Structure formats: structure tokens, C-alpha cells
Amino acid sequence: MKKVFLFLVCVGMFFDISAQELQIAQISMPKHEIYAGFGLLNDNQILAMATDIVGTIVTLGYLVRPGSYRAFTPFMGYRYWFSKHFGLGGIFAFDYNSVKVYNGTDPKDQSVQMREINRYYMTFAVEPTFNYVYKPAWQLYGYLGLGGTIVTFADATFNDGTKAVISRLPYVNVHFTPIGMRFGKEFGGFLEFGYGYKGILNAGFSYRF
């Protein structure tokens, strides 16, 4: 009887210690994360470039011509971790490029005159994130972001530095990252592979607290 009693006491102590360790681990795990980085070749740039090239080919360069494009997209965000495997947050990304469009002909020599239209992209999105592997010093994760992009079309800059807004166009935008890696504890760096409003390759730094 004493052996049974001692066995039950040991089992109870084991589960009590395990529960305490789990509680301590949950308390010590950072809940908040802020991050910032750059993405390489996001969908806005790729789509704009492809559309401009097609427009140039179709109009033989008479109505549309390629402008300037950016390879990197800056972004920043916040994420709240409900557990070590699931977090939810939001991001903001900014991007811009330009396109040249027909603006009449020169009355002297009838040459085609083009004007440059600037396009500014502001993206807001929500990103649920899932950790495949969680360790205090590194994580392997993936996420699917859903949000919207507002593109503003603006004419050339005036002398006072302002721009004439021609129109704004909002549309749904997504980003899918099947593989992401973060290294570090409170301060850390991350590297992600995917496609969407950030880019096909994203990198940056984050802080958890």
C-alpha cells in the first residue's frame, strides 16, 4: 500500500512540475513583435512592368512607354502571438513606379510628346502566421496575408513640390509565404520566400517583447 501511495505522490509531483514549467514557458514567451524589412520584386512592380510592356507593344510605343521601376519594397508590421505556434498581425508596405503616356505631338516637327505618370502603392494587410517549428532562438514559419492596395496616379511635380492627383484605384492584394525563417531571441533577423505584395524574397529585422 505504501508503494502505491509513494508512486501516486511521485506521479502527482511530476505533473505538477510539468504544469509549472509549461506555465513559466508561456509567461516568458514574448507576445508582441514589431518588424521591418524589404521585399524583392513584389506583385505591384511585376504587374505594372508587364502591363506597360504589353501596352508599348500593342501601341508600337505611340501611346504607352515603360517608365521607371523599383526592385525593393519597404514594409513594416506588428504581430501578436497568441501561442508559440500562432500569431496574428498587420503590415504596411509602400512602393512606387512610373509610366510614360501620350501627351500630344510637337507642332513644329510632329514628334510624339510623352508625359510621365507616377504610381504610388500603399498596401495594408492582415497576416495570420503559423510556426512549423518554434525554438527560443529560431523559428520556421509560414503565412498567408490578405489586404488591399491603393494605387495613386499622379502627374509631374510642380514647382512647389506638390503633385496633381489624377485618380486612385483600390484593389484586393494577397501575399503567400510558405517558408520563412527567423533567427534570434528578442532581437532577430528573418528571411522569407514567397510571392505577393511584399516580394519573392523578403528580409529584415524584428524585435519581440
> How many whole angstroms separate alpha carbon 38 and alpha carbon 10?
53
> How many whole angstroms separate alpha carbon 86 and alpha carbon 96?
32
The answer as to whether 19 is a domain residue is no
CATH number of the domain where residue 152 is located: 2.40.160.20
The answer as to whether 179 is a domain residue is yes
Domain count, the chain: 1
First to last CA, the chain: 50
Structural domain span for residue 197: 30-208
The answer as to whether 5 is a domain residue is no
The answer as to whether 22 is a domain residue is no
pTM for this structure? 0.80
The answer as to whether 144 is a domain residue is yes
Positive or negative, the CA dihedral 138, 139, 140, 143 is negative
The answer as to whether 24 is a domain residue is no
Low-confidence ranges of the chain (pLDDT < 70): 1-28, 109-110, 156-163
